[in-house]
Chain A
Amino acid sequence: MSHPVTGTSLLQGNKLEFFIDGVEIVRGIDMTLHKGELVGLIGPNGAGKSTLLRLLCGIENATQGNVLWQGENLSGITLEQRAKMMGYLAQGARAQWPVTVERIVELGRLPYQGVWQRSNDTDKAAIEQAMHMAEVTAYRNRIATTLSGGEQTLVMLARIFATQPQVIFADEPVATLDPYHQLHVMELLRAHAQDDNAGVVVLHDLELAARFCDRLYLFQHGKIFASGSPSDVLTQENLRAVYGIETRIGCSEDGVNVTLVRRICEGHP
């Protein structure tokens, strides 16, 4: 499934560093995102994956280094413009008021609407299309907070599709979902990351990362330990060094298979 890395660079992070209260969370990371690819960020808890994701889409500003969007510094692009180009799926994203599914998806059109404006025909068409893509049209009138976790994640993805962004940033979108919904969410992200679009996804499931991502970045202690195609990154040596686990790596027509065997040492890392 891996494409050769020849696409045009869409997003580039240069020497990114990020501190919180003097603690360095991200320590000098360089990374690139090309058109048409889905890039996976993997690594242990607290390795800096989610923080890097937020730096890349501009929710946090890097303490050092910069992010370039098609060669232009991201900090020079207005929030409104960024909102149309990038969609962000927060970790465990849930609606905070009991509003309808359709209304949640409609919020994806906010970047296109002025202060006093309501949804016009273009917005409505985009909302319909987004609900159709994420297959949530059937429960458009249900209250979002009463849906299952998997359904709510799909609704949030539909909200992002309604914005029609070029890049989707998803922070552990499948963490608490059943296998059916895990595959559904990953298939949607994969399908979006074609042509001029792209995606960055933080994952814990190495199997899904191998199946769906074109390239992986493996993180350890705020730095990139390894990067490249899934078969280059997901090696027994890398996983032992970063996670402290023993694995069996296999190969099948689905790509790389990772079997988790056991922990190697206690008190890791």
Chain B
Amino acid sequence: MKRFLATNPFALLLLLAVVTALCFVGALHTGPAHISILKGFADRFNDSLSIEQLILWDVRLPRALLALIIGATLGLAGAALQGLLRNPLAEPGIVGVSNCAALGAVIVFYFGLTQFGWYILPAGGLIGAFLSVIIIFILAGKQRNIVSLILAGIAINAIGSALIALALNFSPNPYAMQEIVFWLLGSVSNRSLQDVWIILPFTAIGWGMILYCGRLLDALTLGEETAHSLGFDVKKLRWIMVIGVASCVGAAVSVSGTIGFVGLVVPHVLRPLVGYQPRRLLVVSALGGAILLLLADITVQVLSHGGEMKLGVVTALVGGPFFLYLILRTRNYWS
């Protein structure tokens, strides 16, 4: 089975696409109320107001779409960074984008800016993400070495965390603090279709930039100098990729908060199924990320009674030990 999938790229893509579609439909059917999804769609197009239409379009569809888009983003970005750094332990947070996007959103909460419009929160996240990229550019831009880029990312990450802690420390009131903490835990519930529309362009551009650099990841299998000798402007393409990751991850985090481990675990699990080819892993990993986040969000809703469990908490709870297991199992392989 594994071998069949490794030698038939389209079979694996088709399989994952079908599973993604099933999970998406499953997510639409998940919720406290039992409604007819088809009636919800039909009423929307007939322009007749019904409870099914309201629940579907205001609650379920945004939630499922966000889980889909954000899961795909995290899976894709994780595969891209692992390929770029040729390190199976890399993840989107490593370039400092996640924390800075979170910081941008926290600042919005801290000053109570959300009252000025629904778009202020995602905008704050995006601004944070792009500022982090600009700072990394300034710190590591002239260097050829990838290590300087990672170190700059780690430094930015640490500064982002410190400033978030500062905001929590001096939060104006307990309510604001609770709001910040809950948001940081990561969730896709209580969002609207408008949130989907505001992040979609940034995620789509980011996806495009990452996929455009797919060949570079394949060439990097041979090392940076050899990739250069194969006609790749490694330095330029690396920046396109990092900006692409910042754009889509920044947009995702700005709406959902930080959701960990998806970008780390998904590419790691799927890599053997594509014969360790970094370019083929990209789309496969995006679909895998979407599936994982849709399933996680369904689980969250099924298990929640009363106080809702946050999506980011579930991915961390499941992802952490699972990742440890993977490391132990493949320890000999990577050393």
Contact = CB atoms under 8 A, between A and B. Distances in A.
Interface stretch (A110-118, A196-204, A214-222, A252-260): A110-118
Interface string B264-292: 00000000000111100000000000000
* Majority SS at the chain A contact face: mixed
A217 to B, nearest CB: 21
A242 to B, nearest CB: 27
Contacts of B86: 96-97
A88 B229 contact: yes
B222 A96 contact: yes
B225 interface: yes
Interface stretch (B108-116, B212-220, B249-257, B313-321): B212-220
B147 interface: no
A1 interface: no
Contact of A159 (B212, B222, B228): B222
B276 A97 contact: yes
Contacts of B231: 78-84, 110-111
B221 A86 contact: no
* Majority SS at the chain B contact face: helix
Contact of A107 (B212, B230, B275): B230
Given A97-B276, A98-B276, A99-B277, A111 B221 contact: no
B304 interface: no
Contacts of A99: 221, 275-277
Nearest to B334: A98
Given A103-B277, A110-B215, A115-B212, A59 B229 contact: yes
A90 to B, nearest CB: 5
Contact of A93 (B215, B226, B228): B226
A91 to B, nearest CB: 9
B308 interface: no
Interface-centre pick from A83, A96, A111 (highest chain B CB count, 10 A): A96
A184 interface: no
B323 interface: no
Interface string A51-68: 000100111000000000
Contacts of B225: 54, 59, 88, 90
Contacts of A158: none
A51 B231 CA distance: 19
B233 interface: yes
Contacts of A163: 230
Interface string A31-71: 00000000000000000000000100111000000000000
Contacts of B220: 96
Interface residues of B, number: 23
A157 interface: no
Interface in B55-82: none
B221 A96 contact: yes
A90 B226 contact: yes
A70 B215 CA distance: 29
Interface-centre pick from B215, B230, B278 (highest chain A CB count, 10 A): B230
Contacts of B219: 107, 110
A115 B215 contact: yes
B221 A95 contact: yes
Contacts of B221: 95-97, 99, 104, 107
A182 interface: no
A107 B228 contact: no
A258 B232 CA distance: 41
A48 B233 CA distance: 24
A93 B222 contact: yes
Contacts of A79: 228, 231-233
Contacts of B278: 97
B201 interface: no
Contacts of A97: 86, 221, 276-278
B215 A88 contact: no
A100 interface: yes
Contacts of A113: 215
A103 B230 CA distance: 15
B276 A59 contact: no
A107 B218 contact: yes
9 contacts: A80-B231, A97-B221, A97-B277, A98-B333, A99-B221, A110-B215, A110-B218, A110-B232, A115-B212
4 smallest CB-CB distances across A and B, nearest first, come from: A83-B231, A88-B229, A80-B231, A97-B276
Interface of B: 86, 212, 214-215, 218-223, 225-226, 228-233, 275-278, 333
Given A88-B229, A96-B222, A108-B230, 14 more contacts: A58-B229, A59-B228, A82-B229, A82-B231, A87-B229, A93-B222, A93-B226, A95-B222, A96-B223, A97-B277, A107-B219, A110-B232, A115-B215, A156-B222
